[in-house]
Amino acid sequence: MKRTLQLTDDGSHTIYIPEMDEHFHSVHGAIQESMHVFIENGLKACTKSPLNLLEIGFGTGLNALLSFLNRDKKVINYYSLEKFPLSQEEYSQLNYADNHLPDIQQIFLQMHQCEWEKSHELAENFSLTKINGDLKTIDFSNLPTFDLVYFDAFAPNKQPDLWTDAIFEKISAHCCLGAIFTTYCAKGDVRRSLQKHGFAMQRLAGPPGKKHILYGEKGD
């Protein structure tokens, strides 16, 4: 499918897929959205260290990059699942290092260029493992249990097969007690499905352009 580069309201890039009429990030601000949903209400809310982090949708690499920059003293083992990786031509045009997040272009390119299915130590306290696969068929049994989940798949009306009871049951089964689940989506059926599979869910205020997001912690 054709993918085109677009500027969002905070000056950072997103990618648009005309065939799906879907953006990788909010048009109101890509960095702004990722910081709010996944860093402020995900990474910074998780006190564990070391922590095993699962991202659904590596995409542009923005969530991974922001997690790297906001790791502080945490030890992060970052696992990211992506079925359709960007090409070098696509990721090399993304402007996250241009004035927005200076001095990190080398790390950003390394994240995209590093070999799939292998762990790469990008810093003393940050490792990245990219998995080229399908969420519906992936076997999590070879990975450690997760302490934090960034669920950043395309919207339910675009990829409904990734927002099902079966998917959330699969993820929950591989999460530890107290694991945090965060996503930009605030749909009631998504919240109820996550609750059904062990997460105590709540709606939190969303970033600009979005009223709510979902946040949850896994209980007994």
Domains and CATH numbers, the chain: 29-218 (3.40.50.150)
Closest CA relative to residue 30, chosen from 98, 111, 124, 103: 98
Look at residue 211 and tell me whether its pLDDT is greater than 80. Answer: yes
At 89 the pLDDT is 96
User: How would residue 102 be classed by pLDDT, with cut points 50, 70 and 90?
Assistant: confident
pTM above 0.75, yes or no: yes
CB 77 within 8 A of CB 53: yes
**Which position has the higher pLDDT, 29 or 102?**
29
In the 3-class helix/strand/coil scheme, how is the chain assigned residue by residue? CCCEEEECCCCCEEEEECCCCEECCCCCCHHHHHHHHHHHHHHCCCCCCCEEEEEECCCCCHHHHHHHHCCCCCCEEEEEEECCCCCHHHHCCCCCCCCCCCCCHHHHHHHHHCCCCCEEEEECCEEEEEEECCCCCCCHHHCCCEEEEEECCCCCCCCHHHCCHHHHHHHHHCEEEEEEEEECCCCHHHHHHHHHCCEEEEEEECCCCCCEEEEEEECC
**For residue range 34-73, what is the model confidence (pLDDT) as tens digits?**
999 999 999 999 999 999 999 999 999 999 999 999 999 9
**For residue range 139-186, what is the model confidence (pLDDT) as tens digits?**
999 999 999 999 999 999 999 999 999 999 999 999 999 999 999 999
Mean pLDDT of the chain: 96
At 98 the pLDDT is 85
